[in-house]
Structure 1
Amino acid sequence: MGRRGLVADRGRVATPPDLAFYMVEKLFRGAPPGGGSRVLDAGCGLGVFIDAVLRWCRGRCAELPEVVGVEVDPALAEAARRRFAGERVRIVRGDFLLMSAGELGGLFDYVIGNPPYVSYEYIDPPKRELYKRLFTTAVGRFDLYMLFFEKALSLLKPGGRLVFVTPEKYLYVLSAVALRRLLASYRVEEVELIREDAFGGVLAYPAVTVVVKEAPSLTTIRLRDGRAARVALPRDGSPWLSAIATAKLRTPYSLGDLVLRISPGVATGRDDVFVIPKRALSKELEPFAYPTVGGRELSAFAPGSVVDYDKLAHVILIPYDRGGRLLDEGEAKPLLDYLSRWRRVLESRYAVRAEGKRWYAFHEDPPMGDLLRPKILWRDIAKEPAFYIDAKGLLIPKHTVYYLVPKDPGMLPRLAEYLNSAEAKRWLMEHCQRAANGYLRLQTHVLRQLPVPPEVVGEGHGLGRV
């Protein structure tokens, strides 16, 4: 990345591990790998992307895919082999641009990399002529990284995903007309101009490009100043910056900017004890009871609607005060008298045995101060995102239901409407991990990143970004 200091090492600059992991998250966004998946690291060096793939999978207890790294430098290839000995990783030494799919074991579901940035004048003349015969993108004063795009796409299965970090110059230089035309024939999911110091002391204006090998659609462009837009890229090879310049760029909030908390519901460790049918609630237990809802029951309501407590069949018994303090045995005597019949079961929980919690405490102490606020609810795993409103703030969700508490309660209806919009659903479908049968995992770290348009927030909101 960047020309300064690159000539001696054929344009190679090591990718920082944090950037590599960030790119792997984009690579697997909405389409996590399985045991039968194949991942290609084009120009692997010592294997920073391979390591990031393995860390990503292990961090999510996901089955490891087959990973193939290609490296032209014999010393680096051998070092990578030693580094990943015993892993499901194969390192192939050779010129990536001249390798066939057969030599690499077939086509790939994913390709990732930081191709070498070698400008035209530093490519050996015989190689230049060879590349011109082999690649449609080798026109004019082409750079080597441009050919990596074309080669990688040829090795990608239909529907496969490619993520490269390269100079941003291909967005506008004349020599990249053929490359832009090629890329625009597929779905360029995202182009993000990342910070100029992403590679430390190297002078670079890098872009992370995400391409899916399927029919074209709108592209998300993210600029360094935080503005973003969805644009239709020109298909004729003309500079993409013109499409960006005419787009309605905006600085969205992220959902994390607007909320006090995004969390899963309470974890009691024994819902079969603490959650009881509403019809079985005695007068003595009423002071400790709150309406509760699980994922299946929540789905009975229309998306965007206010949850009607009267239609809920269960309540949850809470041995905590409204500030989240565990009640002492005198304060909670009626509740503890009831719970005592299951005391042995409750004492067998890990939180009691290993963490020293009181026998009637929850597995995790509930943040009652946030829970008892107006909030938005959703299922943790769902075929399609759907969000619901707890307008009064008295509902205690079970652990299979996530919730968010907005900083401004007045924003609740607008925010719920946006979360159920086609725009938000599309973003979530693209970014959420997949569970079994293609269901979405609507997790905290993903929801926090969801862009929220300024018009949803409203004027004079007084909310600081976090």
Structure 2
Amino acid sequence: MAPPLAFQAGLFGDCPVEAAIRQLADDSSTEERGAIYTRREVVDFMLDLAGYSAERDLTRLRFLEPSFGAGDFLLPAIERLLSAANRAGHGFALDDCIRAVELHRDTYESTFAKVVQTLMAWGHSEEGSRHLARRWLICDDFLLAPMRGAFDVVVGNPPYVRQELIPEALLNEYRARYSTLYDRADLYVPFMQRALELLADGGEQCFICADRWMKNKYGAPLRRFITTRFRLKAYVDLSEASAFHSEVIAYPAITLIARVMPGATRVAVVTDVERLAELTSGLMGSGSEGTSDVRLVGSLPADGEPWVLAEEDSLSLIRRLEGAFPTLEQAGCKVGIGVATGADRAFIGLMDELGVEDDRKLPLAMTRDIDSGEVRWRGFGVINPFRDDGRLVDLAAYPKLRAFLEERRDIIANRHVAKKDPSRWFRTIDRITPSLAVEPKLLIPDIKGHAQVVFEDGRLYPHHNLYFVTASEWDLRALQAVLLSDLTRFFIASYSTRMRGGFLRFQAQYLRRIRLPFWKDVPSDMRSRLGAAARALDVPACNGAVAELYGLTEADMALTRNEGAQRR
């Protein structure tokens, strides 16, 4: 089998980028490639949605599959093309109809054989079948491979790969080429950018992948890229459906994006993939009205702001609150996340068993310590290698700490952060600021189905699965009542991506979206009501006080309680 095109063309020569591509092509695991395989019901729906239907003369269209894997999308697309070609009588004039790319060599060879078998089953000779397969299939890195011409239809499931799994030289090459590979963006983001760049005028891209990019910080450049040149025609939320052959924790969605003028987006929520076919006509409609299962959302923000695909009434409430009140941080609060060590088994243990100097360890608040809604500390602590000024301590001045760390050096020095700067091998990933431990704060677990906001009076340092909120003006108990309310969950659900089972991400970027009055504008009796409701963990009382504080009507509160409105 021929090597990937990037090697044939000599694009990189003998360099780390080429070595990284070879490693992924020859030796990578399924996890490293981000390979997840899609159910046939989903595949057929996406091909229909993108207009790649055998009823059309597909011989006049160019089809692209950027990461074909085992052929979940490619083989059905080929069958549709062959059916349309037989009906149109074009014979073998199919050389330019399909391009499909796969980097992993063994997967490429396996699917190549399937393509040949499929063509032969449709009456093509073995020689003709191999000819078409060689024309159609490319063994290469889609993000680097030369691609000629534009495509009318792009369909697929781009690889879901975290940046930490991509060799540094290759990641740098991707960053140089793709403006959307920003912050902590996963690999599917530049896949989307390149696929969209390859679309012909009027062409359509239909992908199934995680929908984090639509609301997360790292998705801002991709959102701007799309709204300035393309239109999000349809969005199908599959977070509660089984769209793949294996379970995934990522929250999948189908997006249909076209190189056409901006316009409304058709939105649907699906819990059973067996019902997808019923939605096709409603999602492909061009009228100004939705259906019972498909609703319309107006134009999307063009400035990279998160895409809130909420019901019209819910979106109106969000915008009204955003126009009337400052953000949480503008109102004098600070949002942060606890410490990530990169090696918890080395840095974290029971306080009494951490054999270091007393000023080199801090009591640690972990998720299990606040499961009850109140702090019930289990006695764990974290090693602190930082001085108060933020610099690392001199290990020579702390013989117990040095011995403790050296005993665990193999674990600690093997982390990415340690390899990046071996002279600072014993640092935690995040800097530890000891003053945070003694500051009263609210602790909020990352992943929950409802807002869990726990008051901590200033004794513990938060672990990395906990977000914290401190306040310079607001009383923390009163703030706790606001954050426990349905209004807060409404804000989080509007901006957060959603996980299977209805769980939300209570991350800093979403918490910062919450609107909050200035403390000076809160009447004294309201301050007392909020504080009392929080101390009693009385959510209905929190909701009642918050409704009055924000001037919400009963209809507004009904929206904040409505699960359907909170879905998107």
* TM-score normalized by the length of structure 1: 0.50
* TM-score normalized by the length of structure 2: 0.42
Q: Highest relative contact order (Cα 8 Å, sep 6+), 1 or 2?
A: 1
Whose strand fraction is larger, Structure 1's or Structure 2's? 1
Whose helix fraction is larger, Structure 1's or Structure 2's? 2
